Amino acid sequence: MALARWRTDFARWEKEPGSPVCEVDLDVDRMLHARLGALLPEAGWLSEETADHPARLARRRVWVVDPIDGTRDYIRGRTGWCVSIALIEDGQPVLGVLDAPARGEVWRAAAGEAATLNGAAVRAGARDVLAGARVPVDALPKVDRDLTAVEKPNSIALRVAMVAADQADLVATLRWGNEWDIAAAVLVAGAAGAAVSDALGAPLVFNKADPRAYGVLVSTAGIHDAAVARLAGRVTAALG
């Protein structure tokens, strides 16, 4: 549905400065809400494009959805966007799908099973030295020039998936982010053997009353502690 309307004429606007949305986001959201709700009528719902309702907090299972993650790339006709769907059970993702049709990629994961890309198992890399780690960014700050910049899709979910497939070694954000951006992707990464946490190195928990986390840090298992240590001062400064 999203692919059929990609690179066509559709309404787009900003929910707030720097936060683009388009009519396709809303249409995909409505379709997913109807179809996923029919699959599991007892499950709650949390989506970027649906008004949040506290009823989800009483549900053991909750769908966490971003109908188009990477809307900026979608609007610009670039390929770095995907549909992100996760099923949360008792605060943790147990099913995750990232569908990136413009890239011909479908990522899947289930708790206790291997992560796959287009049906083939993927595995995070074995890098154990932070210097030289591949990071999907537009440009590296001076303090991180010992790292290696690689392609950066607009979708944070796809950037995390790159670690799962050994296309990158480290993804880190230092800001408050929403659960729907990362719920499916961190399951894919974790199932592929990557280390996953918030920017402080703490475990991620989903379906919280405030559905946000301070940053996400996904990396090969061997550099995760070093990455947390490198970012610690910046996190402290940002959080005051």
pLDDT digits (tens, 9 = 90+) for 81-116: 999 999 999 999 999 999 999 999 999 999 999 999
Give the closest residue to 156 by CA, choosing from 140, 143, 174: 174
Residue 57 has pLDDT above 90, yes or no: yes
CA–CA gap between residue 166 and residue 182 (Å, rounded): 18
- The pLDDT tens digits for 66-77 are 999 999 999 999
- The pLDDT tens digits for 196-205 are 999 999 999 9
Count Cβ atoms within 10 A of the Cβ of residue 71 and give its class: 0-12 exposed, 13-18 middle, 19 or more buried: buried
CA–CA gap between residue 51 and residue 141 (Å, rounded): 36
pLDDT at position 24: 98
CB atoms within 10 A of CB 236: 10
pLDDT at position 123: 98
pTM of the model: 0.97
pLDDT at position 231: 97
Average pLDDT score over residue span 47-64: 97
pLDDT at position 240: 83
Q: Is 119 left (phi over 0), alpha (psi -120 to 50) or beta?
A: left
Res. 182 pLDDT band, cuts 50 70 90:
very high
pLDDT above 90 as % of the chain: 99
- The pLDDT tens digits for 124-164 are 999 999 999 999 999 999 999 999 999 999 999 999 999 99
Residue 220 has pLDDT above 90, yes or no: yes
CA–CA gap between residue 192 and residue 122 (Å, rounded): 6
8 A C-beta contact, residue 146 and residue 132: yes
CA–CA gap between residue 91 and residue 62 (Å, rounded): 9
CA–CA gap between residue 183 and residue 186 (Å, rounded): 6
Amino acid at residue number 24: V
Annotated binding-site residue numbers: 48, 66, 68-69, 181
Compute the half-sphere exposure of residue 87: CA atoms within 13 Å on the CB side of its CA: 17
Annotated binding-site residue numbers for Mg(2+): 48, 66, 68-69, 181
pLDDT above 70 as % of the chain: 100
**Structural domains in the chain, sorted by start:** 2-239 (3.30.540.10)
Give the closest residue to 117 by CA, choosing from 97, 90, 135: 97
